[in-house]
Amino acid sequence: MPQAYRNNIPNTLIAMELANRTGASVMMVAQNLDIIHGRPSWRAQFLIATVNACGRFTPLRFKFQGKEGSPEWGCRAVARDRETNEECVGPLVTMKMAADEGWSKKNGSKWLTMPELMLTYRAAAFWARTNAPELSLGIQTTEEAVDTHSGAMQHALPDQLAPQGAVALEAVLGLQPQATGPVTDKTVEIEAEIIEPESAAAEPVQGELIDSEPKQRRGK
């Protein structure tokens, strides 16, 4: 199991629940689900695999248009409904959209170094959201979470996400006021494992429940 789920009951419960809803194995879900501040995010390649394996549609295909490197360069995902043979076309995603939304303006953005892959991932996410939202359960992809959680993000993602990297990541995404570790000018690979440290917030509640028994016994 990924480090994010070891000795972490809340994250494990999320993976088990989503595995039950999607019909996938818990191990497969855990390997492709990033938990960011308690909120799950699918990895884009897993979402593509889910659409391709569901049997309702032909495999996703990606159509590029416009001149490569220009603001109009874009991609859309397409597939066919196997029952009706209707072509299901997803929204067009362009480099201009990435710039206007601020996705490509963050330090270390993969939109600057891997634009074709990012266009493909975002086109797949948009296709699933508009044509088969039940497959993703309405959950964002990790790439979308990184790009959209904090529109004012001015720093790169932490170079390493362990062991306190998730805290630093949440701070960068605007989910926490301050990171516990330094944030570098580098970015993490899309495939990197996002690890959430053990939550200290739950300890007082657990401690209170554990201490209540001795108090009751002393009262008796």
213 has pLDDT over 60: no
- The pLDDT value recorded for residue 1 is 82
- The pLDDT value recorded for residue 136 is 87
Output the six-digit token pair for 40.
């799950």
pLDDT tens for each residue of 154-165: 333 434 333 344
pLDDT tens for each residue of 163-180: 344 444 445 444 444 444
Angle in degrees, CA 188, 8, 1, rounded to 5:
65
- The pLDDT value recorded for residue 171 is 55
Query: How large is the average pLDDT for residues 41-55?
Result: 92
Q: Are 41 and 14 within 8 A, CB to CB?
A: no
Task: Enumerate residues 6+ apart whose C-beta is below 8 A from 91.
Answer: 76, 123, 126, 127, 130
- Across the chain, what does the average pLDDT equal? 75
pLDDT more than 70, % of the chain: 66
127 has pLDDT over 80: yes
CA–CA dist 54, 60 (Å, integer): 11
Q: Are 69 and 114 within 8 A, CB to CB?
A: no
188 has pLDDT over 90: no
Query: How large is the average pLDDT for residues 190-205?
Result: 44
Q: What are phi and psi of 15, to 5 degrees?
A: -65, -40
CA–CA dist 207, 187 (Å, integer): 38
Strands 33-36 and 93-94: unpaired
DSSP-derived 3-state class of residue 104: helix
CA–CA dist 117, 95 (Å, integer): 12
Stated as kind and residue range, the H or E segment containing 133 is: helix 133-136
**Rounded alpha-carbon distances, angstroms, from residue 1 to 8, 15, 33, 143, 219:** 11, 11, 11, 22, 44
- The amino acid present at 103, given as its one-letter code, is W
